[in-house]
C-alpha cells in the first residue's frame, strides 16, 4: 500500500466558531485520509454537529482553515469560499448524510430520481444510463429495484436512510459527512445499515466523518475516534485505544456509562 504517499482528503486547523458570546468550537484540528473513518462522539451540545456543518459549509467559521483536497482543483480552503465557488470547486466530492433522511432526500421525487438527480447535476445526460445506475444503487443499498418509481414517503425509515446514502454515494464523493445516520432507527434496522455502511466504505475507499453518540457504532465503523466536550477535542486516537484505554475524565465517564 502506498497510503503514506497520499495527501489527506481533509485537514482542519485552528477552527473556531461562536454564536454570540458563546464559543461553540475552539481550536479544532483534524486530518483525514482516503479510506479512513473518523467518529466524533460527545454529549449533546459538545459541538459535534456544528463541526460537521462548518466543514460542509452550512455555517461560516470565525477562524481557521478547512483544507479540502478536491479532484479538480487540488487543495482549497473551504472556509474562504462563497457558496457558488464552493459548488464549482468541490462539486460532488463532498457528501452529507442527515440524521433524518427527509432532510437529505427530495420527497417530491421518486426513489430512482433521488439517486439520479446528483448525476444530472454532475452533467450526465443519458436518461437510460442514469436509470440503470439508479437501479444498481438501489440494489447496493438493499432496496428492491422494482420500487424505483415509488416516492420515498412510502418507504420505511431504514429504507429512506439507505436511499439517502445511495443519493450521496452515487457520484463517488471523496468525503462523506454523516450526522447520526443510525439515530432514529430500530436496533435490527440499525445493524443492517451499519453492515451496509461498513461494506460501502471499504469498497469505495471513502473518507468518512461520522457523528454519533453510540460508542458501539463508533467501534464498529471507525478507525479513529475524537471525543468532544464544550466545543473542544479533548481526546483522540485509534477507536479501540480511546474506548479501551480512555485517559480523560469525561471519556472515562462516557465509556463507563455504556450499558
Partner 1 sequence: MTASVPQSGLPALETRGLAKSFTLHARDHLSFAVLADIDLAVHAGECVVLDGPSGAGKSTLLRTLYGNYRADRGAILVRQDGEAVDLVQATPRQILALRRRTLGYISQFLRVIPRAPTIDIVAEPLLALGVDRAAARAKAAELLERLALPHRFWDLPPATFSGGEQQRVNIARGLIAGHPILLVDEPTASLDAANRAIVVQLLQEARKAGKAIIAICHEEATRAALATRFFPVPLKAQAA
Determine which helix (DSSP H) or strand (DSSP E) holds 207, and give its type and residue range.
strand 207-211
- 225: which DSSP letter? E
Q: How far is the CB of 247 from partner 1 (least distance, A)?
A: 7
Quote the CA–CA distance of 176 and 210 in Å, as a whole number. 8
Q: Which listed residue (121, 172, 198, 205) binds partner 1 by CB under 8 A?
A: 198
Segment contacting partner 1 by CB under 8 A, of 11-19, 50-58, 117-125, 220-228 = 220-228
Q: How far is the CB of 207 from partner 1 (least distance, A)?
A: 12
Burial-class residue 10 by CB neighbours within 10 Å (0-12, 13-18, 19+).
buried
Complex with partner 1: residue 93 or 235, whichever CB lies closer: 235
Number of residues that bind partner 1 (CB under 8 A): 27
CA angle 60, 61, 67 (to 5 degrees): 100
Complex with partner 1: residue 18 or 241, whichever CB lies closer: 241
Quote the CA–CA distance of 78 and 95 in Å, as a whole number. 14
Quote the CA–CA distance of 51 and 57 in Å, as a whole number. 10
CA 79, 85, 87, 90 dihedral sign is: negative
Q: Which listed residue (191, 200, 204, 230) binds partner 1 by CB under 8 A?
A: 191
Q: Which listed residue (9, 24, 30, 33) binds partner 1 by CB under 8 A?
A: 33
Q: Which listed residue (103, 108, 205, 244) binds partner 1 by CB under 8 A?
A: 244
Q: How far is the CB of 166 from partner 1 (least distance, A)?
A: 19
Quote the CA–CA distance of 225 and 245 in Å, as a whole number. 12
Q: How far is the CB of 174 from partner 1 (least distance, A)?
A: 17
Q: Which residues bind partner 1 (CB under 8 A)?
A: 1, 3-4, 33, 36, 191-192, 194-195, 198, 202, 219-220, 223-224, 237-238, 240-241, 244-245, 247-249, 252-253, 256
Amino acid at each position: 500500500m502506498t497510503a503514506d504517499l497520499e495527501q489527506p482528503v481533509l485537514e482542519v486547523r485552528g477552527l473556531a466558531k461562536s454564536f454570540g458570546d458563546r464559543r461553540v468550537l475552539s481550536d479544532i484540528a483534524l486530518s483525514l485520509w482516503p479510506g479512513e473513518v473518523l467518529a466524533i462522539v460527545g454529549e449533546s451540545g459538545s459541538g459535534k454537529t456544528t463541526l460537521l456543518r462548518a466543514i460542509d459549509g452550512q455555517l461560516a467559521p470565525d477562524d481557521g482553515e478547512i483544507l479540502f483536497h478536491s479532484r479538480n482543483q487540488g487543495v482549497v480552503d473551504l472556509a474562504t469560499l462563497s457558496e457558488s465557488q464552493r459548488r464549482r470547486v468541490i462539486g460532488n466530492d463532498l457528501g452529507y448524510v442527515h440524521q433524518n433522511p427527509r432532510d437529505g432526500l427530495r420527497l417530491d421525487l421518486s426513489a430512482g430520481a433521488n439517486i439520479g438527480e446528483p448525476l444530472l447535476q454532475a452533467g450526465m445526460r443519458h436518461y437510460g444510463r442514469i436509470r440503470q445506475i439508479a437501479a444498481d444503487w438501489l440494489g447496493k443499498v438493499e432496496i428492491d429495484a422494482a420500487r424505483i418509481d415509488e416516492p420515498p414517503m412510502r418507504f420505511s425509515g431504514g429504507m429512506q436512510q439507505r436511499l439517502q446514502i445511495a443519493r450521496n454515494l452515487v457520484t463517488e464523493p471523496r468525503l462523506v459527512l454523516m450526522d447520526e445516520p443510525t439515530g432514529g432507527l430500530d436496533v435490527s434496522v440499525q445493524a443492517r445499515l451499519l453492515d451496509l455502511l461498513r461494506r460501502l466504505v471499504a469498497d469505495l475507499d471513502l473518507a468518512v466523518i461520522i457523528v454519533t453518540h453510540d460508542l458501539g457504532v463508533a467501534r464498529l465503523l471507525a478507525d479513529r475516534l475524537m471525543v468532544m466536550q464544550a466545543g473542544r477535542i479533548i481526546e483522540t486516537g485509534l477507536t479501540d485505544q480511546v474506548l479501551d484505554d480512555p485517559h480523560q475524565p469525561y471519556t472515562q465517564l462516557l465509556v463507563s456509562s455504556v450499558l
